[in-house]
Amino acid sequence: CSSTAASEIVGKRADCLCWKVILGCCASSSRKMSVEQFFELLSRKIPCHKDTDAGALYCALRNEELELITTTYANRLTTESQGDVISGEFTALPYCSEGVFVVGTGLHRELQYPEICVSQDTDAGSTYLLNRLPTIFFRFYLGQFYPMDPNFSFTLECAWLPSMLVDLLSARLTEEMSMFEGQFAVKHCCEFLQNEAMEFLFRSTPNAPLQINLFQFQDTDEASSSAGGGNQSYRLTDLLVGHEEQARNQEFTDALHECPVCFEELPGTQCIRFRKCRHFACRECAAASFAEQITQSTNACEPTCVSCAEPVRQQEIRAVVTNEQYTLYEQRLLNRTLSSMPDMVDCPNRDCRFGHVLLNENRDQGICPSCRFHFCARCRAAFHNETACQTGPHTRLSPDKVAELVARYQQAGVDGRAQMELQYGKANLNQLITEHQSNEIIKTACKRCPNCHVAIQKTTGCNRMRCTGCQKNFCWLCLSILDNRSPYDHFGTRCGLWR
């Protein structure tokens, strides 16, 4: 559609200024305008103006284009008028639906989304698959004759692209601008930065995947002041991966989600997503689930996800429960840790609530730091030097040693038992008898957890077991550790669930 053809279409109205602007768009464009494009301009035509109203017409056309950008990109455009000149800043957030492979330094931190890292190599670097890339700022200045005079000045600013690529992108924008003279050139530049800039910079061939090698981003301007390319690569890798994580978190926060517990549809600000299993729930239901597990000692030390058996992180527990519930959780977690230490015992004083006491180097006595009770580590009575406990059996004897000592005591006569009671202490011997009976039950009716080796007895139910110590699921038949998220998958292929 040439300017001559356009004049024939508009006929006598071509002497009006607004028609002159439209015809100027046709004549100045380096490409032929389609009929559809021409009539699109006609549909946007504002009421006719005289030549004396040129400034008002240009201003109206500029404002129409800027409002269209604002509507399209959700207020990512800011403008400021200074007389007849309009300055603006557009925030481009490049999104690659197919993903872009970023090769950079391995990060020394836990990723919020582990699936982002698709490969790790000490020599070649780690590869991350990202969809969202950090901001590119597009600042432009429109003169009083825009869009009749489509030339406008602009600058690009990007924190992660080297200056060479920024210059290359600026040159390409200048070319794009000349191709769309008068036809919403600013809007087209914004669209190019948002949707096509990454493909222009990082796709080597039409069918090749997008790839950004951060090791090649050793910009000459930064090289002189940087300690080395490795540090720069790590900084850029952390910047890009961190932006992807923040963008995903923000998308979750902005969206609506249906809680799998209460089935209420709530915004992301009222929900919590668990990092390990990626399940989510509303904060109220998650808090109720954690509080029940903590207060009722069900997984008190490792509360699990509301949708699966995967333990949640301490930060996630802290984010939803009350201060009192979290204090109780920490106390029980501490108690479990201390109970597993061989030189820690509970204070025998029933009136003392301090809890655990550290034994001396020989593990034969302890002093509670709270109530100052000095006790014997073997019989838990007040410490008695040079008595039977002092020469009696050491605690934590092996099961074979316990069995041997109990057998000697049970087979001895009256005089022999009296002698052993004097030597070892009757309370100690009774305790060893109880321990021997427990060892026999463990030997005949129990199995060891394959993870923490705690003895577990099965009384009834299926062959899927959960350790009360470490909360791991395992198979009772073959003692394989099962995936907490799908523990029953094992029984469909290897072992029977009820056999």
For 352, which DSSP code? -
Q: What pLDDT score was predicted for residue 258? A: 94
Residue 1 has pLDDT above 50, yes or no: no
Average pLDDT, the chain: 80
Residue 25 has pLDDT above 80, yes or no: no
400 within domain boundaries = yes
97 within domain boundaries = no
210 CB-near residues (< 8 Å, 6+ apart): 96, 98, 99, 100, 101, 198, 199, 202, 203
Are the CB atoms for 334 and 341 separated by under 8 Å? Answer: no
Are the CB atoms for 100 and 201 separated by under 8 Å? Answer: no
Q: What pLDDT score was predicted for residue 92? A: 93
Per-residue pLDDT, averaged over 421-440, amounts to: 79
Q: Is the dihedral of CA 366, 367, 369, 373 positive or negative?
A: positive
Of the pLDDT bands very low, low, confident and very high (cuts 50, 70, 90), residue 142 is confident
Q: Which of 305, 339, 373 is the last residue of a domain?
A: 339
Of the pLDDT bands very low, low, confident and very high (cuts 50, 70, 90), residue 267 is very high
412 within domain boundaries = yes
- Of 319 and 54, the structure prediction assigns the larger pLDDT to 319
Q: Give SS3 for 14.
A: helix
| Tokens 């002093």 belong to residue | 367
231 CB-near residues (< 8 Å, 6+ apart): none
Q: Which of 339, 371, 405 is the last residue of a domain?
A: 339
Of the pLDDT bands very low, low, confident and very high (cuts 50, 70, 90), residue 175 is confident
Residue 259 has pLDDT above 80, yes or no: yes
345 within domain boundaries = no
Of the pLDDT bands very low, low, confident and very high (cuts 50, 70, 90), residue 18 is low
For residue range 377-401, list pLDDT tens digits in order: 877 788 877 655 644 455 557 778 8
Q: What pLDDT score was predicted for residue 157? A: 93
Q: Give SS3 for 358.
A: strand
- Of 228 and 413, the structure prediction assigns the larger pLDDT to 413
Q: What pLDDT score was predicted for residue 90? A: 95
CA distance 345 to 368: 10
Per-residue pLDDT, averaged over 408-415, amounts to: 86
Give the chain's domain count.
3
* Sequence-ordered alpha helix ranges (H) in 340-374: none
169 within domain boundaries = no
428 within domain boundaries = yes
- Identify whether residues 406 and 429 lie together within a single domain: yes
Q: What pLDDT score was predicted for residue 390? A: 46
Q: What pLDDT score was predicted for residue 45? A: 53
The letter for the amino acid at 289 is S
In order of 129, 242, 306, 315, the CA distances from 279 in angstroms are: 21, 21, 8, 16
130 within domain boundaries = no
Ramachandran angles phi, psi of 215, nearest 5°:
-70, -20
- Identify whether residues 271 and 334 lie together within a single domain: yes
CATH number of the CATH domain containing 294? 3.30.40
For residue range 210-250, list pLDDT tens digits in order: 899 988 886 444 444 444 445 788 899 999 999 999 999 99
Of 246, 293, 292, 29, the C-alpha closest to 147 is 29
Q: What pLDDT score was predicted for residue 255? A: 93
Residue 133 has pLDDT above 90, yes or no: yes
381 CB-near residues (< 8 Å, 6+ apart): 348, 375, 389, 427
- Identify whether residues 455 and 440 lie together within a single domain: no
Burial class, 263, CB count within 10 angstroms (exposed 0-12 / middle 13-18 / buried 19+): exposed
CA distance 205 to 220: 26
- Identify whether residues 273 and 310 lie together within a single domain: yes
Residue 144 has pLDDT above 50, yes or no: yes
- Identify whether residues 272 and 297 lie together within a single domain: yes
- Of 48 and 273, the structure prediction assigns the larger pLDDT to 273
Domain containing 433: what range? 386-446
Of the pLDDT bands very low, low, confident and very high (cuts 50, 70, 90), residue 129 is very high
Q: What is the 3-state secondary structure (H, E, C) of 139-206?
A: EEEECCCCCCCCCCEEEEEECCCCHHHHHHHHHHHHHHHHHCCCCCHHHHHHHHHHHCHHHHHHCCCC
- Identify whether residues 293 and 329 lie together within a single domain: yes
For residue range 278-332, list pLDDT tens digits in order: 899 999 999 999 998 888 765 557 888 988 878 899 999 999 999 999 998 888 8
Exposure string (b/e) for 333-350, b if CB count within 10 Å is 16 or more?
A: eebeebeeeeebbbbbbe
Of the pLDDT bands very low, low, confident and very high (cuts 50, 70, 90), residue 21 is low
98 within domain boundaries = no
